[in-house]
């Protein structure tokens, strides 16, 4: 007897509470208790810099570490990042960035991590020598007019400039190979290099154009390349704030990506960016079809279980825990070089969507319960709802006295009558004014005509 | 003397049939100069003529009489005489000499103003207009004079009857400008803002080759009235406004444009500081009252916006959101708006709550159906008129000439020359 009474009550409570006690229901929502073999890297806890940096290679690793150092508050983390950047730079040939990093370290890491002028001089000298050699080779090839060699020559130049941080020159060199590309493989190679340099430069317009160029040569496209191109396209859309398109691109990335694009993006990033953009811009059907039921994307989501959980929570209307995950992720997302300036917008959009989805099925909603579900105060909730109503995203009215939100559907018939009368008046006014003006013009014209005659 | 007496006799004799009147008119035209030469001595002759029968002749005499400078005492007697003449003259006779009639009436207006009694001129001027107009759509030169008298004597209601008529035929563009400007001012005085907007819009968008002062002043008032009535100022003049107006009007009314911009930002404190800072400019244009009305309309607009999102709201909250000082003030504003019919609400004083209601109009009553029906009829007549004007225009030879030159040529026959000249 008691069991029967309890069951419907607890069900009702759970329905209203929306996620506060709902944590027990979801199978693997609590990350703190479950022990995992691969600790998630982008998670609610503090970023593990070594693991984070291990995901990337090449120039982007250094840029990300520098960005981390610039933007995080924790000086321990800062120094760690700068140390790793220093080590990485020593393995390469970019003296400009090296000087920058040394300046940022400012001697805080001891004598081992100070300005190594001899190394810089040596690298620069080697660079000059190599450059001269490349130039003479290229001239030789150009006189010989062998297309393939000229292409290789320009390619080498591009690589050289890229390694030394002269991104503009690298881009120009890569683009020059275009005239000497014979097979579609060459074209793909050229496009990928151009895309890489453009992403590093931050010029995402070029990225989009080269992605489309590469996609137009279908013969040489193998699955990893397709995945790489999709990632690049997704990044370009993200930078352009086109979140829906970005989400679609990221969701289409296949598992063949693996770690092959570590010079640009890690699979964890694909999952995070794709998941957040999808949540902010898709409606429920699209979210279900493309994200939750998407087998390929599931592999990516396994790498960032918090994002997976928050998407599932959102879909099943457990808004409080969803927003809690979002809050935890925020600090780490702000340290990511591509998404940090979109975090606020995406979060706002996700929150608004949650609010709209919450109110959608109801005729009247008690704002106090809603405020509990969203973990805000009633006054704050009222303000948020007011802005959503003014933007016409929720059709409802607020009863401020009793703190209830009432759904309100516009009366079509009255609205039609009103519009009809208004249109009639406007027509009346416009036509009368027009006839008057026509008369004035005719008068003026007659005056002029009579003066001519 | 003889010519004048002879003229008087002829007037008395030839004022009966229409053909006689026409010959009389020719005579009078020839004698006009001699009349003017003896203008000082014409006064006693006027008694011999009866304005209700010999209107045309009386008109000529009157015009010659009043041609010279007039002193205040003379003005008094002239005013009486002209008023009597206007009320009793025959419309067909005076329409034969409209210019003279207009001159006489204008002088009448001047004299009335000289005596500082504009009210005396209102009724006679109205009669004058009615007699001079060929149809109710015709705008004469007397319309703006009449409205000016109404404005100066604060007798706005008399002007309303003239304003309600639609104007389609205009003699002189300048008349139209003045008429619409004064009409706009009268409508503002009567708080008939929609009509004021229409009239001022007509001034501002009328075809003009150079910017004139009337258009500038009208534009200033136009911005203010559209702020009051619509809550937003016109961003740009519509395309059919003359290019001269589009380029120059905005530059000449800079303070008003700034006012409209700060209005759209929605902060009452900003707009009030701006008004204080530019008070002199507004005052010198005599627009300070309108500006103040615009500022208070901002409160109204904010409260109206609240009705869209809230069902009930406490007076304190209203005061906070609309940036008023106290709930009492908020209550006053809401009460005023309910009385004016601008929102539908009930105030619950016990809880200090306002409950916003939907517009109770259900569009089901007989009155509403009649209203819609009459609107439809009106629009159909207007539509027919528009078609008529269009047909007239399509038959116009000058238009055909121009259209013919620029038409598309698909066939060999199309390359025939359109006749260059029509001999009519």
CATH number for position B114: 1.25.40
**Residue B344: how many CB atoms within 10 A of its CB?**
15
Distance of residue B128 Cα from the nearest chain A Cα, in angstroms: 23
Q: Which letter does DSSP use for residue A398 in this model? A: E
Contact at 8 Å (CB) between B166 and B144? Answer: no
Distance CA A217, CA A226 (A): 11
Lowest mean per-residue pLDDT among A163-172, A226-235, B44-53, B361-370: B44-53
Q: Out of B207, B353, B376, whose CB is closest to A401?
A: B353
Q: Is the pLDDT of residue A38 over 60?
A: no
Q: Provide the pLDDT confidence category of residue B417 given band limits of 50, 70 and 90.
A: low
Q: Is the pLDDT of residue B59 over 70?
A: yes
Q: Out of B166, B170, B312, whose CB is closest to A440?
A: B170
Contact at 8 Å (CB) between B327 and B316? Answer: yes
> What mean pLDDT, rounded, does chain A reach?
83
From residue B47, alpha-carbon distances to A438, B43, B79, B258, B402 in Å are: 46, 8, 15, 61, 58
pLDDT at A42: 59
Residue owning tokens 């953009």: A277
Q: Tokens at residue B208, please?
A: 């003009």
Distance CA B185, CA B181 (A): 6
Q: Do B308 and A389 touch (CB under 8 A)?
A: yes
Q: Provide the pLDDT confidence category of residue A6 given band limits of 50, 70 and 90.
A: very low
Q: Do B382 and A398 touch (CB under 8 A)?
A: no
Contact at 8 Å (CB) between A10 and A3? Answer: no
> Which residues on adjacent β-strands are paired with residue A21?
none
Do B153 and B267 reside in the same domain of the chain? Answer: no
Q: Do A443 and B170 touch (CB under 8 A)?
A: yes
Q: Tokens at residue B393, please?
A: 């225009």
Q: Which residues of A touch B305 (CB under 8 A)?
A: 390
Burial pattern B229-245, b for ≥16 Cβ within 10 A else e, equals eebebbeebeeebbeeb
**Is the overall model pTM greater than 0.90, yes or no?**
no
Distance of residue A365 Cα from the nearest chain B Cα, in angstroms: 14
Q: Do A437 and B170 touch (CB under 8 A)?
A: no
The residue among B240, B187, B243 whose CA lies nearest residue B218 is: B187
Q: Do A436 and B376 touch (CB under 8 A)?
A: no
Distance CA A354, CA A384 (A): 12
Is some CB atom of chain B closer than 8 A to the CB atom of A390?
A: yes
Residue B184 lies in a domain: no
Q: Is the pLDDT of residue A260 over 80?
A: yes
Distance of residue B347 Cα from the nearest chain A Cα, in angstroms: 13
- Give the chain A residue whose CA is nearest to the CA of B360: A414
Q: Out of A397, A439, A441, whose CB is closest to B311?
A: A397
Q: Is the pLDDT of residue B110 over 60?
A: yes
- Give the chain A residue whose CA is nearest to the CA of B354: A401
Q: Which residues of B touch A398 (CB under 8 A)?
A: 309-311
CATH number reported for the structural domain that contains residue B325 in this entry = 1.10.10.10
Please indicate whether residue B106 or residue A447 has the higher confidence score (pLDDT): B106
Q: Do B207 and A441 touch (CB under 8 A)?
A: yes
Do B140 and B153 reside in the same domain of the chain? Answer: yes
In tens, the pLDDT along B181-215 reads: 888 888 888 888 888 898 888 888 888 878 888 88
The vertex-B162 CA angle with B160 and B165, nearest 5°, equals 105
Q: Do A449 and B168 touch (CB under 8 A)?
A: no
Give Rg (Cα) of chain A.
30
Do B52 and B165 reside in the same domain of the chain? Answer: yes
The helix/strand/coil state of B169 is strand
The residue among B184, B175, B113 whose CA lies nearest residue B143 is: B175
Report how far Cα B19 is from the mean position of its chain's Cα atoms.
Answer: 37
From residue B395, alpha-carbon distances to A216, A439, A453, B22, B401 in Å are: 60, 16, 21, 33, 10
What is the average per-residue pLDDT within A90-119?
A: 83
Do B261 and B333 reside in the same domain of the chain? Answer: no
CB-based burial label for A175 (10 Å; 0-12, 13-18, 19+): middle
Distance CA B215, CA A114 (A): 75
Please indicate whether residue B133 or residue A386 has the higher confidence score (pLDDT): A386
**Residue A167: how many CB atoms within 10 A of its CB?**
18
Residue B344 lies in a domain: yes
Residue B123 lies in a domain: yes
The helix/strand/coil state of A117 is helix
Q: Which residues of B touch A445 (CB under 8 A)?
A: 398
Distance CA A80, CA A109 (A): 9
Q: How many CA atoms lie within 13 A of B355 on its CB side?
A: 8
Distance CA A428, CA A438 (A): 15
Q: Which of A401, A425, A432 to mutate to test the interface with B (most CBs of B within 10 A)?
A: A401
Q: Tokens at residue A257, please?
A: 């990506």
Residues in A 152-191 with any Cβ partner in B closer than 8 A:
none
Distance of residue B386 Cα from the nearest chain A Cα, in angstroms: 7
Is some CB atom of chain B closer than 8 A to the CB atom of A369?
A: no
Q: Tokens at residue B50, please?
A: 């009866």
Distance CA A163, CA A156 (A): 10
Do B228 and B275 reside in the same domain of the chain? Answer: yes
**Count of CB contacts below 8 A, A vs B?**
99
pLDDT at B370: 92
pLDDT at A423: 92
Q: Out of A398, A436, A441, whose CB is closest to B168?
A: A436
In tens, the pLDDT along B292-335 reads: 888 888 888 888 888 888 888 888 888 888 888 888 888 888 88
> What mean pLDDT, rounded, does chain B reach?
81
The residue among A113, A74, A84 whose CA lies nearest residue A335 is: A74
Please indicate whether residue A305 or residue B90 has the higher confidence score (pLDDT): A305
Residue owning tokens 């209107």: B55
Sequence-separated (6 or more) residues with CB below 8 Å from residue B374: none
Please indicate whether residue B240 or residue A11 has the higher confidence score (pLDDT): B240
Distance of residue B169 Cα from the nearest chain A Cα, in angstroms: 6
Do B81 and B45 reside in the same domain of the chain? Answer: yes
Q: Which residues of A touch B393 (CB under 8 A)?
A: 438
Strand pairing report for A396-399 and B310-314: parallel
Do B284 and B352 reside in the same domain of the chain? Answer: no
Q: Do B309 and A397 touch (CB under 8 A)?
A: yes
The residue among B128, B108, B132, B127 whose CA lies nearest residue B118 is: B108
Q: Is the pLDDT of residue A379 over 80?
A: yes
Do B222 and B339 reside in the same domain of the chain? Answer: no
Q: Out of B166, B312, B356, whose CB is closest to A432?
A: B166
- Give the chain B residue whose CA is nearest to the CA of A444: B173
- The question of ipTM being above 0.85 is answered as no
The residue among B44, B86, B51 whose CA lies nearest residue B65 is: B44
Q: Which residues of B touch A414 (CB under 8 A)?
A: 359, 361-363
Do B116 and B206 reside in the same domain of the chain? Answer: no
From residue B342, alpha-carbon distances to B273, B297, B303, B354 in Å are: 27, 11, 10, 15
> Which residues on adjacent β-strands are paired with residue A396?
A407
Contact at 8 Å (CB) between A93 and A127? Answer: yes
Distance of residue A117 Cα from the nearest chain B Cα, in angstroms: 58
Is some CB atom of chain B closer than 8 A to the CB atom of A362?
A: no
> Which residues on adjacent β-strands are paired with residue B345?
B356
Q: Do A397 and B240 touch (CB under 8 A)?
A: no
Q: Out of B206, B305, B351, whose CB is closest to A401?
A: B351
**Domain total for chain B?**
4
Q: Which residues of A touch B314 (CB under 8 A)?
A: 400-401
Residue B234 lies in a domain: yes
Q: Is the pLDDT of residue A37 over 70?
A: no
Q: Do B176 and A427 touch (CB under 8 A)?
A: no
Q: Which residues of A touch B387 (CB under 8 A)?
A: none
Residue owning tokens 């905005």: B250
Q: Out of A400, A411, A449, whose CB is closest to B317?
A: A400
Contact at 8 Å (CB) between A211 and A249? Answer: no
Question: Per DSSP, which regions of A77-227 are E strands?
Answer: none
Q: Which of B168, B169, B311, B380 to mutate to test the interface with A (most CBs of A within 10 A)?
A: B311
Distance CA A49, CA A65 (A): 8
Question: Could you give the percent of chain A with pLDDT greater than 90?
Answer: 15
Helix then strand then coil, in percent of chain B rounded to 5, is 70, 5, 25
Q: Provide the pLDDT confidence category of residue B153 given band limits of 50, 70 and 90.
A: confident
Please indicate whether residue B239 or residue A453 has the higher confidence score (pLDDT): B239
Distance CA B137, CA B414 (A): 41
What is the average per-residue pLDDT within A140-160?
A: 88
Contact at 8 Å (CB) between B219 and B244? Answer: no
> Which residues on adjacent β-strands are paired with residue B314?
B353
Do B139 and B157 reside in the same domain of the chain? Answer: yes
Q: Quick one: angle between helices B2-13 and B55-65, nearest 10?
A: 150
Distance CA B262, CA B283 (A): 19
The residue among A249, A245, A304 whose CA lies nearest residue A280 is: A245
Residue B361 lies in a domain: no
Q: Is the pLDDT of residue A1 over 60?
A: no
Residue B219 lies in a domain: yes
| Phi, psi (rounded to 5 degrees) for A339 | -105, -5
Contact at 8 Å (CB) between A260 and A228? Answer: yes
From residue B415, alpha-carbon distances to B186, B409, B412 in Å are: 56, 7, 6
pLDDT at B422: 47
Do B349 and B379 reside in the same domain of the chain? Answer: no
Q: Do B382 and A432 touch (CB under 8 A)?
A: yes
Q: Do B207 and A440 touch (CB under 8 A)?
A: yes
Residue B7 lies in a domain: yes
Q: Is the pLDDT of residue B384 over 90?
A: yes
Is some CB atom of chain B closer than 8 A to the CB atom of A389?
A: yes
Question: Could you give the percent of chain B with pLDDT greater than 90?
Answer: 3
Residue B300's domain comprises: 189-308
Is some CB atom of chain B closer than 8 A to the CB atom of A397?
A: yes
Do B13 and B117 reside in the same domain of the chain? Answer: yes
Q: H or E segment at B345?
A: strand B345-348
Q: Tokens at residue A151, please?
A: 């292409």
Report how far Cα A190 is from the mean position of its chain's Cα atoms.
Answer: 25
Distance CA B213, CA B210 (A): 10
From residue A444, alpha-carbon distances to A438, A447, B207, B211 in Å are: 10, 5, 9, 16
Residue B372 lies in a domain: yes
Q: Which residues of A touch B176 (CB under 8 A)?
A: 436, 440
pLDDT at A18: 46
Q: Do A417 and B363 touch (CB under 8 A)?
A: yes
Is some CB atom of chain B closer than 8 A to the CB atom of A447?
A: no
pLDDT at A45: 67
The highest-confidence range among A258-262, A318-322, B69-73, by mean pLDDT, is: A318-322
Q: Provide the pLDDT confidence category of residue A129 given band limits of 50, 70 and 90.
A: very high
Distance of residue B139 Cα from the nearest chain A Cα, in angstroms: 11
Distance of residue B334 Cα from the nearest chain A Cα, in angstroms: 17
Q: Is the pLDDT of residue A41 over 70?
A: no
Question: Could you give the percent of chain B with pLDDT greater than 70?
Answer: 94
């Amino acid at each position: 007897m008691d069991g029967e009474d309890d069951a419907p009550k607890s069900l009702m409570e759970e329905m209203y509470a929306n996620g506060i006690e709902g944590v027990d229901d979801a199978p693997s929502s609590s990350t703190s208790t479950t022990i995992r073999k691969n600790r998630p890297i982008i998670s609610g806890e503090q970023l593990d810099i070594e693991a984070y940096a291990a995901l990337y290679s090449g120039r982007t690793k250094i840029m990300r570490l520098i960005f981390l150092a610039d933007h995080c508050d924790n000086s321990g983390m800062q120094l760690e990042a700068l140390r790793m950047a220093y080590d990485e730079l020593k393995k390469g040939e970019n003296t400009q960035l090296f000087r920058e990093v040394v300046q940022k370290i400012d001697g805080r890491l001891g004598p081992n991590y100070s300005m190594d002028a001899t190394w810089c001089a040596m690298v620069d000298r080697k660079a000059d020598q190599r450059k001269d050699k490349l130039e003479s080779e290229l001239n030789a090839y150009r006189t010989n007019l062998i297309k393939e060699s000229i292409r290789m020559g320009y390619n080498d130049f591009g690589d050289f400039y890229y390694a030394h941080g002269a991104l503009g020159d690298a881009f120009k060199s890569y683009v020059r190979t275009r005239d000497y590309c014979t097979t579609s493989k060459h074209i793909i190679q050229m496009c990928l290099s151009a895309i890489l340099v453009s992403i590093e430069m931050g010029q995402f317009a070029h990225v989009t154009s080269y992605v489309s160029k590469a996609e137009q040569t279908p013969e040489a496209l193998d699955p990893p390349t397709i995945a790489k191109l999709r990632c690049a396209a997704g990044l370009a859309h993200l930078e352009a704030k086109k979140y829906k398109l970005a989400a679609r691109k990221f969701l289409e990335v296949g598992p063949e990506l693996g770690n092959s694009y570590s010079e640009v993006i890690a699979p964890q990033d694909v999952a995070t960016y794709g998941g957040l953009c999808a949540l902010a811009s898709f409606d429920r059907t699209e979210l279900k079809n493309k994200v939750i039921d998407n087998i390929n994307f599931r592999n990516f989501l396994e790498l960032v279980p918090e994002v997976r959980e928050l998407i599932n929570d959102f879909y099943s209307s457990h808004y409080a825990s969803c927003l809690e995950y979002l809050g935890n992720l925020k600090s780490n997302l702000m340290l990511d070089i591509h998404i940090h300036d979109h975090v606020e917008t995406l979060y706002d959009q996700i929150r608004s969507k949650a609010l709209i989805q919450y109110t959608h099925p109801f005729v009247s909603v008690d704002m106090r319960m809603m405020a509990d579900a969203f973990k805000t105060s009633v006054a704050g909730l009222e303000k948020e709802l007011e802005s959503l109503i003014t933007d016409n995203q929720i059709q409802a009215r607020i009863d401020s006295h009793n703190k209830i939100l009432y759904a309100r559907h516009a009366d079509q018939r009255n609205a039609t009558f009103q519009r009809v009368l208004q249109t009639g008046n406007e027509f009346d006014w416009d036509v009368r004014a027009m006839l008057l003006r026509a008369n004035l013009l005719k008068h003026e014209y007659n005056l002029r005509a009579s003066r001519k005659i | 003397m003889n010519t004048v007496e002879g003229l008087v006799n002829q007037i008395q004799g030839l004022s009966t049939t229409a053909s006689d009147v026409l010959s009389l008119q020719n005579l009078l035209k020839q004698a006009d100069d001699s009349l003017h030469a003896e203008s000082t001595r014409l006064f006693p002759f006027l008694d011999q003529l009866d304005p209700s029968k010999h209107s045309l002749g009386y008109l000529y005499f009157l015009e010659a009489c009043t041609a010279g400078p007039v002193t205040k005492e003379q003005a008094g007697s002239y005013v009486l005489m002209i008023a009597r003449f206007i009320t009793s003259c025959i419309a067909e006779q005076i329409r034969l000499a409209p210019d003279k009639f207009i001159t006489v009436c204008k002088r009448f207006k001047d004299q009335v103003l000289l005596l500082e009694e504009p009210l005396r001129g209102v009724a006679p001027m109205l009669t004058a207009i009615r007699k001079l107009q060929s149809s109710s759509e015709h705008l004469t030169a007397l319309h703006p004079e009449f409205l000016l008298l109404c404005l100066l004597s604060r007798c706005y209601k008399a002007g309303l009857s003239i304003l309600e008529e639609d104007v389609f035929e205009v003699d002189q563009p300048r008349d139209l400008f003045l008429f619409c400007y004064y009409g706009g001012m009268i409508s503002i005085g009567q708080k008939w803002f929609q009509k004021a907007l229409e009239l001022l819009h007509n001034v501002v968008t009328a075809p003009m080759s150079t910017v004139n002062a009337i258009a500038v002043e009208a534009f200033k008032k136009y911005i203010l009235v559209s702020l009051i009535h619509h809550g937003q100022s016109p961003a740009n003049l519509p395309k059919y406004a003359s290019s001269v107006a589009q380029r120059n009007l905005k530059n000449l009314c800079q303070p008003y444009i700034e006012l409209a911009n700060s209005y759209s930002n929605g902060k009452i404190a900003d707009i009030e500081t701006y008004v204080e800072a530019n008070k002199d400019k507004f005052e010198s244009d005599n627009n300070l009252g309108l500006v103040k009305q615009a500022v208070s309309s901002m409160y109204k607009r904010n409260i109206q916006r609240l009705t869209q999102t809230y069902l009930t709201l406490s007076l304190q909250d209203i005061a906070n959101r609309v940036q008023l000082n106290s709930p009492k003030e908020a209550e006053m504003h809401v009460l005023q708006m309910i009385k004016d019919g601008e929102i539908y609400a009930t105030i619950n004083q016990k809880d200090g709550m306002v409950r916003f209601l939907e517009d109770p109009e259900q569009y089901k009553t007989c009155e509403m159906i009649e209203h819609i029906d009459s609107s439809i009829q009106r629009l159909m007549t207007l539509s027919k008129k528009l078609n008529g004007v269009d047909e007239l225009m399509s038959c116009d030879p000058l238009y055909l000439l121009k259209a013919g030159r620029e038409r598309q040529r698909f066939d060999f026959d199309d390359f025939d020359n359109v006749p260059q000249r029509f001999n009519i």
